[in-house]
Structure 1
Amino acid sequence: MLESVEKETSTLKKFRFLSILEGISYIAFFITMPLKYFMEMPMPNKIVGMSHGVLFLAYVLFAYLVTEEQKWSKKSFGILFVASLIPFATFYVERKYLRKN
């Protein structure tokens, strides 16, 4: 799994916050999909989809930066990346691995 957090840096703090925002945007995207396809309301999906896309890219970038900064393995980056693809996984990773014990 992920290595433990060595030092609490500003990049890590931003990444923790970003992981929560990315998870929320993922959930919001699931909510707006039925609006688009069943209620013919595409605008909320367009706005949330764009926001989710930007947050996803920022999450992946910060995952890389934190992995380098903390001197974690490429496997750890892979775990963080896969977490961005699974609903609720960013919340789990933030709570379980990104907090300094």
Structure 2
Amino acid sequence: MLSAMLSTPIARLRLVAIIEAISYLVLLFVAMPLKYVWGIPLAVRVAGPVHGILFVAFLIALFRAADARSWSWRRSALVFATSLVPFATFWIDRSLREEDLAPAPATS
């Protein structure tokens, strides 16, 4: 079942994007307050690198999906920008899901 869910570049992008978005929210709303409000820097030392690795995985998945679907620079930049704004990834996910269900563009 998992392999069917991850059978397209957009499906893989969606999965990585959601996991990366959750790690970003944990970093911003859990780890950062723990460090700066309660003086517990360990949370950032753990969440920071995890988020960084997931962000790199997101970029790789984004480039692969953009290439597979022949996205314009504008579309690619929009998807990238959503990764920088908290909760925006969840907003763009619906559009990605709909595009994933649509037929892929013909390649020449």
Secondary structure of the corresponding residue to residue 87 of structure 1: coil
Secondary structure of the corresponding residue to residue 85 of structure 1: coil
If asked which structure has higher relative contact order (CA below 8 Å, sep 6+), I would say 1
Percent sequence identity over aligned pairs = 33
CA pair 55-77 structure 1, distance change in 2 beyond 3 A: same
Aligned to 1:33: 32
Aligned to 2:9: 11
Aligned to 1:4: none
Within 5 A, what are the aligned runs for 1:80-99? 80-95=79-94, 97-99=95-97
**For 1:26-60, what per-residue CA distance to the aligned partner results, in whole angstroms no more than 9, with x for missing partners?**
11001110101121111111111111111111112
Amino acid of the structure 1 residue aligned with 2:21? G
Amino acid of the structure 1 residue aligned with 2:40? M
Gaps of 5+ in 1: 1-7
TM-score (norm 2): 0.79
Amino acid of the structure 1 residue aligned with 2:39? E
Quote the Cα distance in structure 1 between the aligned partners of 2:85 and 2:59.
Answer: 13
**RMSD across aligned positions (CA):** 1.5
Amino acid of the structure 1 residue aligned with 2:33? P
CA displacement at 1:9 relative to structure 2: 4.3
TM-score (norm 1): 0.84
Q: Which has the larger radius of gyration?
A: 2
